[in-house]
Structure 1
């Protein structure tokens, strides 16, 4: 004759679960940011020969943008002021979300420029 056994699982309150979930999500986000910043210095610099750089008209010196080709460019637009630039105030080169795996010059510019929110 077979008897059925019930499996007893430990009980976890909703509050305990949320604490663990929030802590885990925060730790994952922090590690992603720290690892991303550490690796940004190791990224190869974007070259003017890169296909995406050519498509977006990237230049390393925003004062040398072809005004006839990019009439929307303004003199105060550079990578350091762009929302896609991932560097800090003192970073000469930094990651850019428009050019994954490459670092752009802070004084550069491309047609994907979007101002940082105020």
Structure 2
């Protein structure tokens, strides 16, 4: 039969082992928003608002007004959140109203 002190010790050890996960788990899952100034964002012409696509740029010639991140295959949203990870930008968060030249229609 365990004594009260050994049960407390076991509980304390368990809590100490869980502490790093509690402290850092949320930070590890928290992601940063993609900046339009990010090197990859510039290469792929990413903008937070698809209405701001520079259509004078030949690389944006395939842009159509119906295209934005919310209907892109690479946009990894699980609901209706405004910002969600994009697989092309190393899972940084992009705006659902954004656009980049890697846009692919979600089926």
Q: TM-score, normalised by structure 2?
A: 0.69
Matched residue, 1:94: 84
Shift of 1:58: 0.2
Shift of 1:88: 2.9
* Pairs aligned (count): 79
SS of the residue 1:107 aligns to: coil
Cα separation, 1, equivalents of 2:78 and 2:64:
22
How big is the alpha-carbon RMSD for the aligned residues of Structure 1 and Structure 2? 1.7
Point out the structure with max Rg over C-alpha.
Answer: 1
Matched residue, 2:31: 43
Q: How does 1:45-60 map to 2 (within 5 A)?
A: 45-60=33-48
Uncovered stretches (5+) of structure 2, i.e. residues with no partner: 1-28
Residue deviations 1:66-113 (CA, integer Å, cap 9, x gap): 111112100010001000000134111000000014100000000000
SS of the residue 2:87 aligns to: coil
Cα separation, 2, equivalents of 1:56 and 1:75:
17
Stretches (4+) displaced over 4 A: none
Cα separation, 1, equivalents of 2:103 and 2:50:
11
Matched residue, 1:72: 62
Cα separation, 1, equivalents of 2:32 and 2:79:
20
Is it true that 1:112 corresponds to 2:102 in the alignment? yes
Uncovered stretches (5+) of structure 1, i.e. residues with no partner: 1-38
Which structure shows the higher helix fraction?
A: 2
SS of the residue 1:98 aligns to: helix
Q: TM-score, normalised by structure 1?
A: 0.63
